[in-house]
Amino acid sequence: MGYNSCNRGVGTLFDKVCILVMDSVGVGAMPDAPSFGDEGSNTIAHVADAVGGIHLPNLARLGLGHLTPIKGTDPATEVRGAHGKMNEASAGKDTITGHWEMAGVPTFTAFTVFSEGFPAEIIEPFVQATGRGILGNHAASGTVIIEELGPEHIRTGKWIVYTSADSVFQIAAHEDVIPLEELYAACKIARDICDKHQIARIIARPFIGEAGSFQRTYNRHDYSMLPHQPTLCDELTKAGIPLIGIGKIADIFAHQGVEQNVHTEGNTDGIAKTIAETKSLDHGVVFCNLVDFDMVYGHRRNPTGYATALLELDAAIPELVDALGDNGLLLLSADHGCDPTHMAHTDHTREYVPILCGSRAFKGGVDLGTRETFADLGQTVAANFGVSVPTGTSFLNDLRQVL
């Protein structure tokens, strides 16, 4: 049952919660950013600067403008929600690290990065087990390497294998050359081989088209290592609290604790499906990742596209809040930065991430300050549903102040 204003101090404070990860929407460089090559990065501020300003009124109402100066989005005089930013305690700046920490499990030992390519002890068993040779085997931009090696891949049927500054083993294949199921099977083989090398993710990168106009598709799949401790997803599922993943959430957690996941094809589809699943849920958690900010605009260093995607999300905020009803909570955050104006590289950027909370029930605003870890988000959701995660300090009591 739901809890009204007179009995919110007992039991579940919010009947349902939507965690929406704006993949890569960072709000300013962390103090250790220079050691990652990311000094001066600020994804959202630099996107706004690049397009001459961006007006995000609904995110501003939740407190976005109080986190970092954003041209076109001033600090709201009346905030209706909770706002703050979160420090990444983990040793990294990748998708897995950010999401796991957000779910209460920081990673203090960084995953292994093979920036110069993978050694024979990884490649040889992969080639033998899959029956296909490889092309590439070096760090590269995904869109660049398929243009460079795509024609040879089509001629030979060899896998395109590449990596990045993250701990990833990426396998690209044209959908008309190698069937998707064979690509996915190869990723599972790579996952088994790479576990002992502590490689965080194997990523299937299918593409279509012809030379000069290849396009990656939304049939991507990630094959992650298993989290080293039970995450928020595990604890909620164990307690019988429904959790629905949207987008690549299930892949990020190796499908552990995420029994229901909804496939998406980009931000527009992800927002629509998040609203639909949230509306239909009576009690529990919807956990969504909007990947286009990062994959389509951040890594591609496209601030104009990034700004358009932010405007699209901002316009959807009222409907997202309404979908949660009178006793729901929207939590907006990010897993890392990916500043599209940062030209030292095309990888993620080590940044603080926002924490913005919205609810129909909120009557005012509260400043959550700078949190020591992303895990505070996970601990807050856990506390709301009467469970706990290994790390993090709940800010649930701060939210009570504005109910």
* Chain segment 347-394, per-residue pLDDT in tens: 999 999 999 999 999 999 999 999 999 999 999 999 999 999 999 999
**399/31 Cα distance (integer angstroms):** 28
Same domain, 307 and 340: yes
Does residue 8 lie in a domain region? no
- pLDDT, mean of residues 149-165: 97
Confidence of residue 12 (pLDDT cuts 50, 70, 90): confident
69-119 pLDDT, tens digit each: 999 999 999 999 999 999 999 999 999 999 999 999 999 998 999 999 999
88 and 133 in a single domain? The answer is: no
Domain match, 125 and 185 both: yes
Query: Does one domain contain both 356 and 383?
Result: yes
For residues 215 and 328, state if they share a domain: no
3-state secondary structure of 65: helix
Query: What's the pTM?
Result: 0.91
Tokens of 12: 């579940």
| Average pLDDT rounded to a whole number, residues 8-29 | 88
- Which range of residues forms the domain containing residue 371? 16-110+226-400
Give how many domains the chain has, as a whole number. Answer: 2
Per-residue pLDDT band at 135 (split at 50, 70, 90): very high
Residues 200, 225 contacting (CB under 8 angstroms): yes
Q: Which of 172, 197, 224 is the last residue of a domain?
A: 224
Q: Is 200 helix (H, G, I), strand (E, B) or coil?
A: coil
Cβ-proximal residues to 183 (8 Å cutoff; 6+ apart), any chain: 171, 173, 204, 206
* CATH code of 31's domain: 3.40.720.10
Neighbouring C-beta atoms of residue 214, cutoff 10 Å: 18
